[in-house]
């Protein structure tokens, strides 16, 4: 510094200015680094506000998943009992009660009843009574199944809770499926189970039929009005059917009277609107069964039976309910939809007696 031509104070000024510039440069570098990291921090915090669907799906559940989760819940609970008699190979199922059922009607209630069957024999089904406008019905009904011990482990008990509708299809609230292989049947079981969404695998659908019943005790006239049917089973090669309906009256388990509708061509949803009047004295009404059967007409071959059902004091479930409503409301026609059942199930429930044969006298 002593030999430099520049004054000493100038050199000191230059050195200080250089140090300040270097410090400012370092500060700028730090600020730039920080400003690049801040957007990432904001993006992490405000991710819900991002409109991009791909990004939001990574952190939010899909609406369909939420709806499915809601559907799985709030269906209610069912209390039931199981008792297996190893000696006579008989399973007794008790449907006790249900609580907190899902409301299916607009008034915030339901009209529940329970269908009980085993997957090893879907044709044999039992129904409880219908309970009006309640989400906590008390059934206290029991049903008996003949199940060989060798078939117990292969069977599943199904209890389905439905909401009754007189003029439309009954809505299923939920079901309980209990594989008997998972149950210890050495002792009586009584437990609660949550209702789950009904399984999509169900038995063959034969169709539904709507008809009206009216009984006048003073005149002894029973009026059956066959209105319509829908979603009948396809019986012909063209994917349709030629349906007609038979109405049988059975007295004391013997065939008594019968009538039939006209044939409707090439349809699975026929409209009949045909009325039949039967003379049934009031003294016989408790012993009469009304059998409704739907047939497929064939010109060349034999007519084929699609499905059937019966009503009367010996009936169960919706059929008994319809019959009881008719008796409770004399002179008033009451219409209702019914699900067709396999013919062999109805025939077994009816337990028809064979016609009496006259003895042959030898000479």
Domain boundary among 172, 194, 216: 194
Whether 113 and 169 share a structural domain:
yes
Whether 246 and 185 share a structural domain:
no
The pLDDT value given to residue 316? 85
Six-digit token string for 129: 């009574």
The pLDDT value given to residue 356? 41
Full domain range(s) for residue 105: 77-194
Tell me the average pLDDT across 78-91: 94
Q: How many residues are listed for the chain in this entry?
A: 363
Burial level of 182, CB count in 10 A (0-12/13-18/19+)?
Answer: exposed
Compute the distance between CA of residue 232 and CA of residue 209 in angstroms, rounded to an integer. Answer: 9
Residue 72 domain flag: no
Task: Quickly tell me which residue has 């009047």 as its tokens.
Answer: 277
Six-digit token string for 166: 């007189």
Give yes or no for residue 291 having a pLDDT over 70: yes
Residue 25: φ, ψ to 5°:
-65, -40
Domain boundary among 162, 194, 226: 194
Whether 219 and 252 share a structural domain:
yes
Whether 212 and 338 share a structural domain:
yes
What tens digit of pLDDT does each residue of 240-261 get? 899 999 999 999 888 899 999 9
Six-digit token string for 181: 């292989």
Whether 212 and 344 share a structural domain:
yes
Going by C-alpha positions, the residue among 250, 37, 279, 82 that lies closest to residue 176 is 82
Whether 312 and 236 share a structural domain:
yes
Percent of the chain with pLDDT over 90: 50
CA distances from 220 to 4, 10, 27, 172 (A): 140, 132, 107, 38
Six-digit token string for 342: 């396999």
Residue 200 domain flag: no
The pLDDT value given to residue 53? 38
Give yes or no for residue 84 having a pLDDT over 90: yes
Six-digit token string for 246: 């038979």
Residue 46 domain flag: no
Residue 273 domain flag: yes
Task: Quickly tell me which residue has 């992490």 as its tokens.
Answer: 44
Report the run of H or E that residue 328 belongs to, with start and end: helix 317-328
Residue 301 domain flag: yes
Tell me the average pLDDT across 77-99: 95
3-state helix, strand, coil in the chain (%, to 5): 25, 35, 40
What tens digit of pLDDT does each residue of 201-238 get? 555 678 999 999 999 999 999 999 999 999 898 887 77
Residue 266 domain flag: yes
Whether 104 and 180 share a structural domain:
yes
Lowest mean pLDDT among 23-27, 37-41, 118-122, 204-208: 37-41
The pLDDT value given to residue 32? 67
Whether 134 and 211 share a structural domain:
no
CA distances from 228 to 167, 169, 272, 348 (A): 12, 14, 5, 26
The pLDDT value given to residue 48? 41
The pLDDT value given to residue 23? 80
The pLDDT value given to residue 123? 67
The DSSP secondary-structure symbol of 196 reads B
Residue 107 domain flag: yes
Domain boundary among 139, 164, 194: 194
Bridge partners, 304 (sequence order):
296
CATH number at residue 151: 2.60.40.150
Residue 29 domain flag: no
The pLDDT value given to residue 124? 80
Six-digit token string for 39: 């957007």
Whether 175 and 247 share a structural domain:
no
The pLDDT value given to residue 33? 64
Compute the distance between CA of residue 343 and CA of residue 105 in angstroms, rounded to an integer. Answer: 32
Provide the 3-class DSSP secondary structure of residue 330. Answer: coil
Domain count, the chain: 2
Whether 281 and 326 share a structural domain:
yes
Task: Quickly tell me which residue has 């921090």 as its tokens.
Answer: 41
The DSSP secondary-structure symbol of 341 reads B
Whether 224 and 263 share a structural domain:
yes
Q: Average pLDDT of the chain? A: 82
Whether 290 and 237 share a structural domain:
yes
């Amino acid at each position: 510094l002593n030999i430099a031509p520049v004054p000493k104070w100038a050199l000191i000024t230059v050195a200080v200015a250089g140090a300040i510039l270097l410090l400012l440069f370092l500060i700028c570098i730090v600020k730039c680094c920080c400003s690049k990291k801040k957007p990432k921090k904001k993006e992490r915090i405000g991710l819900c506000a991002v409109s991009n669907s791909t990004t939001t799906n990574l952190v939010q559940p899909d609406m369909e998943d939420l709806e499915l989760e809601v559907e799985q819940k709030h269906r209610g609970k069912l209390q039931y009992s199981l008792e297996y008699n190893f000696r006579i190979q008989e399973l007794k199922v008790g449907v006790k009660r249900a609580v907190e059922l899902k409301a299916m009607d607009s008034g915030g209630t339901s009209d529940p009843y329970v269908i009980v069957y085993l997957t090893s024999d879907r044709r044999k089904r039992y129904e409880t009574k219908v309970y009006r406008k309640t989400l906590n019905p008390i059934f206290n009904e029991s049903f008996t199944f003949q199940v060989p011990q060798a078939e117990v482990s292969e069977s599943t008990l199904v209890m389905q809770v439905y909401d009754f509708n007189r003029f439309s299809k009954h809505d299923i609230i939920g079901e309980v499926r209990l594989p008997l292989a998972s149950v210890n049947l050495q002792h009586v079981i009584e437990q609660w189970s949550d209702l789950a969404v009904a399984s999509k695998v169900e038995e063959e659908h034969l169709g539904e039929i709507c008809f009206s019943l009216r009984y006048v005790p003073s005149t002894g006239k029973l009026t059956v009005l066959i209105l319509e049917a829908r979603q009948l089973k396809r019986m012909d090669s063209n994917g349709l059917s030629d349906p007609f309906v038979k109405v049988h009256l059975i007295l004391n388990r013997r065939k008594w009277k019968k009538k039939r509708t006209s044939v409707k061509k090439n349809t699975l949803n026929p409209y009949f609107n045909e009325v039949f009047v039967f003379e049934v004295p009031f003294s016989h009404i408790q012993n009469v069964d009304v059998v409704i059967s739907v047939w497929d007409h064939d010109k060349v071959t034999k007519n084929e039976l699609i499905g059937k059902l019966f009503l009367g004091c010996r009936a169960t479930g919706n059929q008994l309910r319809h019959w009881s409503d008719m008796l409770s409301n004399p002179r008033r026609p009451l219409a209702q939809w019914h699900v067709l059942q396999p013919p062999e199930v109805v025939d077994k429930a009816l337990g028809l007696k064979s016609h009496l044969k006259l003895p042959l006298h030898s000479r």
